[in-house]
């Protein structure tokens, strides 16, 4: 775990789901230590208890993984085809060249060596109380399809989920940001739907584990009596604010991709529209 702690910002970056789980085993401390929102027996979170959510985090959200995989794989993209060139040796003859006695009379694949581009992709698939796991599954599938499109176009992706990213205002009307992230896939790994389904597409990840993080992180700040001042803001503002803050904190670069539930919902859960909004279909 890496921690960024400034006067107005507190952010923890976890290297894996196991790192995230271990990080939440610390004692409750700070402003929300006594709230115990993560432990309430309320199905609003998507699970009856925190223990049920913990099981999903540890063992995977199997039902969601299967649904997520089907939705992601429903969009097929063709990889760029290799370029054919004339060569002395190859897999097929060039008849015209052979007739005139030209040495390069066989088709061969020409390999073009170039650096592999990489991008971090931040997935902030959290939403208000009216949104359930089925809707998160829909938006999560679109987000992963964006990653899939990048991979098919030769861009290696590192996928990072953000289960909690709260803005609040203290008594002096100063904005404070608190949040955490979990690395789900590095550049060299392939997609693992079993690993990614719970943090990306289940409401309990941010309504139980996200709140548990807030209860245990111990960020030193004077909060007003609320978790977040982002509930109710427009989708466009949510996307813009999240991008700007992640870049300001040095977590996301200018070429990295940031996607919020608000962005995907405002695009009607359509991949092509999301790609267009992100400037990725040029």
The tens-digit pLDDT sequence of the chain (282 residues) is 888 888 778 899 999 999 999 999 888 776 666 665 677 766 677 888 889 999 999 999 998 888 888 888 775 443 344 555 555 455 555 556 555 666 665 656 666 666 788 999 999 988 776 777 788 888 999 999 999 889 888 899 999 999 988 777 666 776 778 889 999 999 999 888 889 999 998 888 988 898 888 888 866 554 444 555 455 567 777 888 889 989 988 999 999 999 999 999 999 999 999 999 999 876
Phi-psi region of 271 (alpha: psi -120 to 50; beta: other; left: phi over 0): alpha
Q: Which residues does 261 contact at the CB level (< 8 Å), separation at least 6?
A: 124, 125, 126, 127, 131, 136, 139, 238
Look at the block and give the residue holding tokens 């949104």: 131
Q: Alpha-carbon distance 280 to 167, whole Å?
A: 28
Question: What stretch of H or E contains 169?
Answer: strand 156-169
Break the chain into its structural domains and give their ranges. Answer: 2-78+115-278
> For the whole model, what pTM was predicted?
0.80
Q: Which residues does 96 contact at the CB level (< 8 Å), separation at least 6?
A: none
């Amino acid at each position: 775990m890496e921690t960024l702690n400034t006067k107005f910002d507190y952010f923890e970056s976890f290297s894996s789901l196991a790192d995230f789980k271990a990080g939440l085993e610390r004692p409750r401390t700070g402003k929300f230590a006594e709230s115990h929102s993560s432990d309430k027996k309320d199905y609003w979170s998507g699970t009856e208890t925190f223990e049920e959510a913990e099981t999903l985090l540890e063992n995977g959200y199997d039902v969601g993984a299967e649904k997520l995989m089907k939705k992601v794989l429903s969009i097929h993209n063709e990889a760029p085809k290799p370029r054919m060139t004339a060569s002395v040796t190859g897999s097929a003859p060039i008849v015209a060249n052979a007739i005139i006695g030209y040495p390069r009379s066989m088709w061969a694949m020409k390999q073009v060596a170039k650096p592999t581009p990489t991008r971090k992709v931040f997935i902030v698939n959290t939403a208000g109380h009216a949104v359930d796991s089925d809707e998160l599954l829909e938006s999560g599938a679109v987000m992963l399809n964006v990653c899939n499109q990048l991979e098919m176009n030769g861009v290696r992706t590192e996928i990072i989920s953000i289960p909690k990213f709260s803005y609040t205002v203290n008594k002096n009307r100063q904005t404070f940001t608190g949040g955490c992230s979990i690395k789900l896939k590095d550049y060299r790994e392939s997609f693992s739907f079993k690993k990614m389904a719970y943090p990306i597409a289940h409401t309990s990840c941010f309504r139980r584990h996200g709140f548990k993080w807030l209860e245990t992180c111990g960020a030193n700040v004077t909060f007003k009596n609320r978790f977040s001042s982002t509930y109710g803001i427009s989708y466009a503002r949510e996307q813009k604010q999240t991008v700007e803050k992640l870049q300001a904190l040095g977590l996301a670069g200018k070429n990295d991709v940031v996607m919020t539930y608000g962005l995907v919902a405002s695009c009607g859960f359509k991949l092509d529209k999301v790609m267009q909004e992100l400037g990725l279909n040029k």
